Amino acid sequence: MMGLTWYILGLLTTGSLIFLWKFSQRYAFKWHTWSGFGFGIVLILFSIAWGVGAVLEGVPRAGSMGILLFGLPGIILVTVTLRYSTNRLEKRQVSHIKEKVEVTKTPPISLKTVQPTTSQKSGWWSFLPYVAYVSLVIAFIFGIITGGEDYESMIKAKYTDLVLEKIHDDPVVFQVGEKENGQGEYILIQEGQGYGGPFVFAIRIKDDAKIHEVFPLADKETPAFIKKIKEANYRNQFIGRSIADNFIVGDDIDGVSGATVTTMAATEAVRNGAHIAAVEYFKLEPSWGKTQWKFGLDEVLILIIFILAFIPQIHRTPYKYIYMAMSIGVVGFYLNAAVSIGSLSGLLMGYIPNADDHLIWWILVIGTIATIILVGKNVYCYKICPFYGVQFFLNKISGNRFNPSPALLRQARPVANGLLWLALMLIFLSQLPSAGAFEPFAMMFSLDGVGIQWYILPLAIFGSFFMSSFWCRFFCPAGSAFSILLKARKKVVTLLASK
């Protein structure tokens, strides 16, 4: 395989040299034009070799990072040099033709301008949305009936050498062996609510009223976040702690950067378990601090970004650049709180995190949905979404406004809706919001991901470079869900108005 790669790289190198030779005959190259093309092409070829090599060695993450770090600057360099040299030529030689072309230039084809054909609107095709809705409801019910893990069996399987007696049902509490000196040893099962769903922990407390073991039984969070807290040895900080401690992130518990919400959900599970044991089984007075409404700098920044999304003047040049940079910085890289289909489907399944701990989630998810329902406006897409901002700036740099072939473009909306349906089916059947969340947001802003996600991210980035709002227009499942909600709202309003 690597041999084939070198062969293809050889062909590409030869092709690039022929291109440079032909191009240099047509345009007057200067030293910076040669440098731009030369360095850009070398970077692109190097990134291809890096990417293929890394994938063959079984490290797709390194491959993806290499392609992004070397390939993207290479493409930017080649494109900017190409634009620079061709613009100069057009100005010098064919200015009269350019003027004519600009007059007749049509705006880029957008999904809004592409209407479904008559055949799509009629016949069996018109029933397809209803079939999709019904199948989603069936999958949702099936998932609830067949879902639900047997945590008690998991505990018993882990502690085969211990005598466990279940002494409470909700929450599930096991007593380990016999009580000595009035104090016993307990294992409690508790859960905390994250963005993707509950985070279930077993907490083992011995007769010294201290936590001796904490281990996860189930989680529905994004795998990248779970990976982060595993790597940070987050669980170890609970071992040896008194069950009367506060267990509050930012107070006596250290959060994990880039996985704050997951950390808070996991901490909530341990806190609940420890404090229940303290009151019920160790008869301690509740002396621990209570969780306060979390309203700090992070929440203020998100609130400002959300409110500014409603002000039309902000979304005009030059303020829109500042706004988008803010969104990329705060919603993207700093908080990694972009709305995904995982958060929306989690909401449908009743996984709603506490407002006191997760105000950011409430502002972005509930705020966006409430705005769609009450005002009929989607303020998230093309405004707050940090991934849109990334795409916007990339496309601005390239200046490209390409589109796929018109035949594909006509099917773009059904394809996006079809992917949304597939993702939701998978989420409902598995009861796992992260299972169908194929968006590359989380990994883009945390630089962490799993498996095939590492291939989706570079493709989305390259696509945005050549096509405006590539991901938003063609693939974003959260965007498709918001559009469907908006359409449903319009239908209801029209129906109510006609009565």
CB 477 within 8 A of CB 423: yes
- Does position 222 bind other proteins by CB under 8 A? no
Single out the residue of 118, 405, 494, 498 in contact with other proteins (rule: CB under 8 A): 405
Nearer to other proteins, 422 or 493 (CB): 422
CB count in 10 Å sphere of residue 15: 11
Q: Left, alpha or beta for 65 (phi > 0: left; psi -120 to 50: alpha)?
A: alpha
Count of residues near other proteins by CB under 8 A: 37
Contacts to other proteins from residues 450-469, by CB under 8 A: 451-453, 455-456, 459-460, 462-463, 466-467
Single out the residue of 336, 403, 417, 483 in contact with other proteins (rule: CB under 8 A): 403
- Does position 402 bind other proteins by CB under 8 A? yes
Instruction: Quote the radius of gyration of the chain (alpha carbons, Å).
Output: 27
- Does position 432 bind other proteins by CB under 8 A? yes
The H or E element containing residue 183 is strand 183-193
Minimum distance, C-beta of residue 405 to other proteins, in the bound complex (Å): 5
Q: What is the distance in angstroms between the CA of the first residue and the CA of the last residue of the chain?
A: 67
Minimum distance, C-beta of residue 136 to other proteins, in the bound complex (Å): 15
Site string for other proteins, 342-361 (x = CB under 8 A): --------------------
Site string for other proteins, 229-268 (x = CB under 8 A): ----------------------------------------
Copy the structure tokens of residue 247.
């267990």
Single out the residue of 54, 435, 442, 481 in contact with other proteins (rule: CB under 8 A): 435
Task: Report the alpha-carbon angle 425-431-432, nearest 5.
Answer: 95
- Does position 100 bind other proteins by CB under 8 A? yes
Q: Between 72-93 and 31-56, two packed helices, what is the crossing angle to 10 degrees? A: 150
- Does position 135 bind other proteins by CB under 8 A? no
Question: What dihedral angle (degrees, nearest 10) is formed by the CA atoms of 80, 44, 459, 261?
Answer: -90
Site string for other proteins, 68-97 (x = CB under 8 A): --------------------------x-xx
Cα separation, 219 vs 434, whole angstroms: 10
3 state DSSP class of 220: coil
Question: DSSP letters along 443-486, please?
Answer: HHHHS---TTHHHHHHHHHHHHHHSTTHHHHHT-HHHHHHHHHH
Segment near other proteins (CB under 8 A), from 213-221, 294-302, 403-411, 490-498? 403-411
Contacting positions for other proteins (CB under 8 A):
94, 96-97, 100-101, 104, 400, 402-405, 408, 415, 419, 422-423, 426, 429-430, 432, 435-436, 438, 451-453, 455-456, 459-460, 462-463, 466-467, 470, 474-475
